[in-house]
Structure 1
Amino acid sequence: MARVLGIGEGLFILAFLWVLCLLLCLVFSRAQGALSHLGPLAIIVAGLVTIILIFIPREPEISTPDDSIKIYDYSIIYRFGLIAVVSLFIIIGGVLYLTQQMMIPVLAKPIRRVR
């Protein structure tokens, strides 16, 4: 594993990702229309990538030859990620359904006068 000043490449990847996301947020903060939503979306994506990279198992700093071989089930990480994304979209969809369909105000209409 390549290290610069004792810091691994994962930290450099995360730092570059967050600097890029903050730059995108600043660039798109003055945009009009749908482009104005790309800044917060970039920060959300960076947060998800950061969480994924934190939870993927890493190799130890000092490897010992007498350690027993551990078998990791990497597919469970992606399953949990998929469950998290689907749950997030279910919550967003439920909130949008409630606000757009169920909570529409019904205004009273005047009754016509009979002459």
Structure 2
Amino acid sequence: MAGLVLNVGIGLFILAFIWILALIICLAFSKSPTKIASLGPFSIIAAIIISIILIFIPRDSQFPSPEEQSMVYDYSIVYRSGLIAVMAFFVVVGLAIFLVNHAMQPVQAQPLRKFLR
């Protein structure tokens, strides 16, 4: 069962992307005074056609083969990768804070002579 994200297949994400893109196009061009405003309904029709085609494409078997059943996966790599990503993010944030607080301190000009009044 390759291609599962949050226990949902990749096809659902493709359909969601197509529909979100169609709705964004429809909303973006709906108030246009030119003929491009007719692109909105065409994007919805195209999304319907693509959805119907993708629904009727044959899917994989529901039952895995014996080779797929015997494979053992190491799922801890997901947590390790997430930990590395979080650590890298905080390293970048820390470097940015260091740059702002220490390296970019304003230097005020000092007078060369002090005038007494």
Q: TM-score, normalised by structure 1?
A: 0.53
Partner of 2:13: 12
Partner of 2:26: 25
Question: Runs (4+) of structure 1 moved beyond 4 Å?
Answer: none
Aligned pair count reads: 65
Higher RCO (Cα < 8 Å, 6 or more apart): 2
Q: Distance in 1 between matches of 2:61 and 2:33?
A: 47
Q: Distance in 2 between matches of 1:62 and 1:34?
A: 50
- How much is the aligned-residue C-alpha RMSD, in angstroms? 1.2
List gaps (5 residues or longer) in structure 2.
67-117
Give, in angstroms, the shift of residue 64 of structure 1. Answer: 4.2
Deviations 1:59-102 (A, max 9, x none): 1232346xxxxxxxxxxxxxxxxxxxxxxxxxxxxxxxxxxxxx
Q: Distance in 1 between matches of 2:62 and 2:9?
A: 10
Q: Distance in 2 between matches of 1:3 and 1:64?
A: 17
Q: Distance in 2 between matches of 1:5 and 1:62?
A: 19
Q: Distance in 1 between matches of 2:12 and 2:62?
A: 14
Partner of 2:42: 41
Partner of 2:101: none
Q: Distance in 1 between matches of 2:55 and 2:17?
A: 15
Q: Distance in 2 between matches of 1:61 and 1:55?
A: 16
Partner of 2:59: 58
List gaps (5 residues or longer) in structure 1.
66-115
